[in-house]
Structure 1
Amino acid sequence: MPLTRPGWVGSGKHLLAGLELAVREVNDAGGIAGRPLELVVRDTAADPERAAAAVDELAHLGVAALAGEYHSVVARAVAARADALGLPYLCSSAVLDALTEQPTDWVARLAPPQSRGWQTYADFLLGAGHSRIAVAAQPSVYWASGARILRDHLTPRGGTVIELDMSTLTPTTMCEELVGSGATTLLLLVGHPEPAASIVKAVRTDRRLAKIMIGAPAGQPEFAEWATSLGADGAAVPFLRYLPEHLSPLGARVEAALRERLAEVPSFVAFEGYDTVAVLAEVLRAHGTDRARIAEAWPHVAVEGTRGQIRFSRVPGVSVWQWAWPPIQVTDRDPAQPDRLRTRHTR
């Protein structure tokens, strides 16, 4: 997980909190066949090479399985190395459809694939009357994939996607491009906190762009750091989150425990961390620590998670075992109370 910059540290913090809470509960209940479940943590810092080296180290240490990661490009490196080593990997939060180059039985995933989430976001935009969409994008496999999904989904429905290359533009020059684009929405396909925060501030202070809606499908506004750094400017920026409209009793109990552990509202990433351990603990109880047997168990999983029953299947266009489907929301922060989240659209 990313615990230091340039990784999204908030996501790593929440992912770790969910993993640690679930491990503590497993061990309080007697562990796995009487043995404690141990969580061995490594910081990827959003660096694919560092993450791949961590996989080699953990494999050498004899771990039964890998878990976690938030950044899709990093998760791809983890998945590729895990597949090569024959090490089962349950990806908690990364969404790239093609998490591996070829289909693999070693990797399973809890987060919905990017195509499903971002198509949901595109439907939200159309339903809200936005069909001319500008995207401020940095070079990345993840951002390029997101822009392609949006274009492929919006164009047949009368929408237009205009790309603004943030490798050549500053927030100020991007505003100049945006003014002449005719777009009614600007989507942030960029890193957090920078340049995302600077772009938001530049748009919010440009009177010519007062009617532009800012969106962040990748979920940057989910974390408290967004509200802290941007305040009212960070409100009304719709983003994707993977929670149900109403939590189950299990989800509500876990939410309260996570809130106490984090001293803030837990993000969907914290729930993904908890559910990751819930799945792996059940697999370890039923199949032991043999790596091949763990990987063979993915299609037989049926675990009640915090956001619904988790089962894995093969989904067209997705190269790993996929939970189909986690709940998807489009959410934003309430302008009247930026620390309160509003649900704008569900799938």
Structure 2
Amino acid sequence: MKPSSVQIGVLVPLSRPGWVEAGGHLLAGLELGARDVNDAGGIGGRPLELVVRDTAADAQQAAAAVDELAGLGVVALAGEYHSVVARAAAARADALGLPFLCSSAVLDALTEQPTPWVARLAPAQSHGWQIYADFLLDAGHHRIAVAAQPSVYWAAGAAILRDRLAASAGTVIELDMRVLEPADVCGELAGNGATALLLLVGHPEPAASIVKAVRGDHRLTDVLIGAPAGQPEFAEWATLLGDDGAAIPFLRYLPERLSPLGARVETALRERLGQPPSFVAFEGYDTVAVLADMMRSHGADSARLAESWPHVAVEGTRGRIQFTRVPGISVWQWAWPPTQIVERDPASDRFRVRHTG
């Protein structure tokens, strides 16, 4: 008799307006992780099965998916890329008593109150974006403009940057993209003396149009364009923007050198994706590796899994993963994944590291 599978519910953005390319990389990592688990004998001889649901960057759709997956009897939840969506999923997981290992979303306030049910692999936004602010200051940028759209995520990022720069007598000027067109951004930059413009906006639009406008304005040749949220990580960015998309620093969560496991996974992910894997794909793989290790050690029981977050010690693709309680963070947190600020090299289209944190 074939043993019944152990099911993990997976949340990923696979359709618009979700960031489909990021969702595809995340799912590729999750699926590769599950394949490796099953090749190694599964969970106590039972195959691991991923039950995938598309969130489409919609918080209500994600919450409904959590309810559905809980009804199907999944042992735990994994995944999600968009922070606002992950927050909705985390709230439902907390209410239902279902363990959720969030792969990629970084919003500090993933839940309103501390919860034993949710853990996160990605660094909190305050950690990564403070590193980004320090990079700007070290590079001599003290007057920063941000092209921003309304969102809890963008607002939180702007506040982190503002506080960090203010501590060093820096200034953040907000450009409201609800009322400005990309061409208007050029006029604002030319008049306000900012030496850097950060893209706190959606991808591909209006981010790509803003980059094209600024790159094409002779008055702004010395203005640094930055994208702390990581838009240039994916191949679509280079396809849309070509040379204009190079030399735009962004945050990514990879070490300077991958471990032997990471190198093996990188090769397998490259074959699966048909392109170099992003850090998001590694986050997906590590998510399954952690949950599988927990289930092998503590059993495929939701309550026992939630109790075991502080006992995790897993060698992932990007380092040793352990969870702690971090002040100001309401979930169990890996503190911290390796963090880099990189950009596409205009001469080669490869990534070059500008800063590590």
TM range (shorter): over 0.9
Q: Which residue of 2 aligns with 1:222?
A: 233
Please list the CA deviations of residues 136-185 of structure 1 after superposition, one character each: whole Å capped at 9, or x if unmatched.
Answer: 00000000000000001110112110000001111011211111110000
* 2:271 corresponds to which of 245, 256, 260: 260
* 1:270 aligned partner, one-letter code: A
| Residue 343 (str. 1) matches residue 316 (str. 2) | no
Q: Which residue of 2 aligns with 1:10?
A: 21
Q: Which residue of 2 aligns with 1:277?
A: 288
CA distance in 2, matches of 1:91, 1:200: 31
| Residue 130 (str. 1) matches residue 141 (str. 2) | yes
* 2:154 aligned partner, one-letter code: W
CA distance in 1, matches of 2:43, 2:344: 40
Please list the CA deviations of residues 108-162 of structure 1 after superposition, one character each: whole Å capped at 9, or x if unmatched.
Answer: 0000000000000001101111111000000000000000000011101121100
Of all paired residues, the percent bearing the same amino acid is 79
* 2:78 corresponds to which of 67, 75, 83: 67
SS of the residue 1:15 aligns to: helix
* 2:182 corresponds to which of 162, 171, 183: 171
SS of the residue 2:248 aligns to: coil
Please list the CA deviations of residues 241-297 of structure 1 after superposition, one character each: whole Å capped at 9, or x if unmatched.
Answer: 000011111111111111111111100000000000000000111111211111001
CA distance in 1, matches of 2:119, 2:40: 25
* 1:311 corresponds to which of 319, 322, 345: 322
Matches of residues 298-337 of structure 1 in structure 2 within 5 Å? 298-337=309-348
Matches of residues 71-90 of structure 1 in structure 2 within 5 Å? 71-90=82-101
* 1:117 corresponds to which of 115, 125, 128: 128
CA distance in 1, matches of 2:109, 2:167: 23
Quote the offset at 1:187 in angstroms: 0.1
Q: Which runs of 4+ in 1 moved over 6 A?
A: none
| Residue 50 (str. 1) matches residue 38 (str. 2) | no
Please list the CA deviations of residues 180-201 of structure 1 after superposition, one character each: whole Å capped at 9, or x if unmatched.
Answer: 1100000000010111001101
Q: C-alpha root-mean-square deviation of aligned residues, in Å?
A: 0.6
TM-score normalised by L of structure 2: 0.96
CA distance in 2, matches of 1:288, 1:212: 54
Quote the offset at 1:23 in angstroms: 0.3
Quote the offset at 1:325 in angstroms: 1.0
Quote the offset at 1:52 in angstroms: 0.4
SS of the residue 2:48 aligns to: coil
Quote the offset at 1:224 in angstroms: 0.4
* 2:99 aligned partner, one-letter code: P
| Residue 239 (str. 1) matches residue 250 (str. 2) | yes
CA distance in 2, matches of 1:321, 1:29: 27
CA distance in 2, matches of 1:92, 1:22: 13
Contiguous gaps of at least 5 residues in structure 2: 1-11
* 1:53 aligned partner, one-letter code: A
Q: Which residue of 1 aligns with 2:173?
A: 162
* 1:125 aligned partner, one-letter code: L
CA distance in 1, matches of 2:221, 2:342: 21
Quote the offset at 1:331 in angstroms: 0.3
Q: Which residue of 2 aligns with 1:212?
A: 223
* 2:248 aligned partner, one-letter code: V
* 2:270 aligned partner, one-letter code: R
* 1:7 aligned partner, one-letter code: G
Q: Kindly tell me the number of residue pairs found equivalent between the two proteins.
A: 346
| Residue 201 (str. 1) matches residue 205 (str. 2) | no
Q: Which residue of 1 aligns with 2:151?
A: 140
* 1:346 aligned partner, one-letter code: T
* 1:37 aligned partner, one-letter code: L
